[in-house]
Structure 1
Amino acid sequence: MDVDPTKEVRHQTTSSCSTMAGLVPPGATINTDPSNAKSKEDEKVDYFNLPCPIPYEEIHREALMSLKPELFEGLRFDFTKGLNQKFSLSHSVFMGPIEVPSHQTTDALKVPTAHYEFGANYIDPKLMLIGRVLTDGRLSARVKCDLTDNLSLKANAQLTNEDHMSHGMINFDYKGKDYRSQFQFGNGALLGASYIQSVTPRLSLGGEVFWAGQHRKSGIGYAGRYETDKMVATGQVASTGMVALSYVQKLSEKVSLASDFMYNYMSRDVTASVGYDYILRQCRLRGKIDSNGCTAAYLEERLNMGLNFILSAEIDHRKKDYKFGFGLTVG
């Protein structure tokens, strides 16, 4: 007896569907897309295992890299010689004008100057010592020491021949599992403390307080930071009148755009700026333009291994102030 192949296939399909109907409850749907299951797993947040946030004082660091490069005017030459893996010496020469406040006008006066700077550096995974001495009599030092795996000590000081211009600061930083705290002690009876806590894997909130005993001033501030793989948004407000907002969009691993908004509700000063950070194969270009009509650019070109060429430019059309600088970094 001949069997119709079409009827046989229809019978096998009907029997398999009946078997699946017996295994799956009524009203349930079968998820055949593995990406949907993975996204549901990612939505679950373990609030007892949040990442440690960045320090409170560095919440704007991505925006500062693009909008606040180390601009200078004149000639600069830096040479660093490593004596061993941990100890090195540095020599720096600077020739160019410096701005001195004027009592008669609001514009600063430019005074030509030149100085030589000698430095010594000791860098270890748990200890960093940096010292600088200049020909004009200024002496500066920085220390960073990891006392434990979670507690570190930071100190910086500067001594000058001018009255009331020397200062010193000591910071104790504690790094917790999902929070950071800092205590500050400085000359002039300056006391400060800050704390930042991870609320979600991407959001962290914090606050700070300070007291300047010499000037009889105190203040309190709050800050928030939201970070993803493609963007960073931060906001900060303080009782001193400062309101700071910043946003950084990462277009790729080498290109990022940044913007910030600074407002002081006591002096009514408002400044907004936009900038970029572009990393090429042999150079890095950063620049910005702000609402005051000031345009700036900073270029670091690697000429050879251990040899970098630097160009700095800042143009203020409103004040008719133009600053250009170039330098070399060796070592």
Structure 2
Amino acid sequence: MARLREAYTTFSERREALGLSNPGTVENIAKEVQRDVFLNNLSFSGLRADLTKAFSVAPLFQVSHALAMGSQSQPPYTYAALYGSPKVFLQANVDNELSFSGRFNYRWTPSFVTKTSVQLASMGSMVSLENDYTGSDFSASLKAINPSILDGGITGMVMASYLQSVTPKLSLGLEALWNRVAMTHSPELVVSYAARYKGTDWIASGQLLAQGGIEASYWRRLSEKVETGINLNLAFAAMGPGGPMAGIKKEGTVTIGAKYDFRASSFRAQIDNNGKVACLLEKRVAPPIQVTFAGEIDHKQNQAKLGLAVSIDAADPEVMEQQERVGADAPPIPF
């Protein structure tokens, strides 16, 4: 036992001497492109108005009302409440059709966080349980979606991922997915592999998907206010009755985008090889008011979408003074 302890101590010291940093998670391996530059998760259509009222900053507590019109993806009205502290994060949303979604995250230690989410709607329900561990030079995650043992066995979806820094710039990882729809179906297990390389002002990442596909991203900062990104998604699947190699169907999408940050606004634009062009402009008109404009043209489908949103953040003077006192030194909330 003493020799094992000594070997582990020596290994840990050599690992620390390499100066490795945490590489993030496999899920967010391309977040600089997918979330920071591209507007896939930000685009919308129709008219929208958001009113947020903050009652406290430390701990964070706020409520919001969202009104939408002319949108197929957003309900006409949504009420949301949010609470956050260094250990606990709570969020709940309910819309005009009484569809409910909630999140509860708890930080056990500075490195270990448990995340749960629930969605209750007429179309179906979903429960998600996730445990994330953030080490000094690695990240590990275990997530279960709709787990159940009521059918005489384990059903649902289980995902496990691990991303390790190999050098100060290179990270390697893998993700395993186990899925069983019902006890009458046999379980399925697939494994994907991921790699991430971080340069001085650029980041490249790639994933080899076991379902049959390759996804690669490249992000680069051109200047202090300009970021660009490109993403390649190539999906291939065996087709035909003659076996796995009877025929291979390939589908690929290439998307290029850029983000410009100005003093009180930001502009995003992207275009892909299918002829879809989109842009998003966020403008801070006044400290509590932000206006967002979204536009999209799909030349292949001959469709166009426009969206306009107004967001108002209301807070009492006492809350604003509290925010200035807290500053950026406050412990992070386990979102």
2:132 is aligned to 173
Following the alignment from structure 1 to structure 2, what is the Cα–Cα distance between the partners of residues 97 and 176? 42
Q: Are residues 189 and 203 of structure 1, via their aligned partners in 2, closer, same or farther at CA, if it must alter by over 3 Å? A: same
Identify which of 53, 75, 80 aligns with 2:23: 53
**Which letter maps to 1:131?**
A
Q: Deviation of residue 52 (structure 1)?
A: 1.3
Q: Secondary structure at the match of 2:24?
A: coil
Percent identity reads 31
RMSD: 1.6
Following the alignment from structure 1 to structure 2, what is the Cα–Cα distance between the partners of residues 146 and 159? 25
Contact kept, 8 Å, 2:231 with 2:255, in 1: the verdict is yes
Give the alignment of 1:235-246 within 5 angstroms. 235-246=206-217
Report Cα offsets for 1:206-256 as digits up to 9, x if no partner. Answer: 001011111643211000011123101000011111210000110112101
State yes or no: 1:184 paired with 2:174: no
Identify which of 172, 179, 201 aligns with 1:230: 201
Contact kept, 8 Å, 1:96 with 1:114, in 2: the verdict is no
Q: Deviation of residue 114 (structure 1)?
A: 5.2
Give the alignment of 1:276-287 within 5 angstroms. 276-287=258-269
* 78-87 vs 214-223, greater mean Cα deviation: 214-223
**Which letter maps to 2:232?**
F
State yes or no: 1:295 paired with 2:277: yes
Which runs of no fewer than 5 residues in structure 2 stay unpaired?
A: 1-14, 147-154, 238-248, 314-335
**Which letter maps to 1:54?**
G
1:159 is aligned to 120
Higher RCO structure, 1 or 2 (CA under 8 Å, sep 6+):
2
Following the alignment from structure 2 to structure 1, what is the Cα–Cα distance between the partners of residues 16 and 159? 32
Following the alignment from structure 1 to structure 2, what is the Cα–Cα distance between the partners of residues 140 and 226? 36
Identify which of 247, 256, 275 aligns with 2:257: 275
TM-score norm. by structure 2 comes to 0.78
Q: Secondary structure at the match of 2:27?
A: helix
2:107 is aligned to 146
Give the alignment of 1:43-82 within 5 angstroms. 48-64=18-34, 65-67=36-38, 68-82=40-54
Structure 1 stretches of at least 4 aligned residues deviating more than 2 Å after TM superposition: 45-49, 215-218
Which runs of no fewer than 5 residues in structure 1 stay unpaired?
A: 1-44, 100-112
**Which letter maps to 2:255?**
S
2:306 is aligned to 324
2:236 is aligned to 265
Identify which of 126, 131, 147 aligns with 2:87: 126
Q: Secondary structure at the match of 1:268?
A: strand
Aligned length: 272
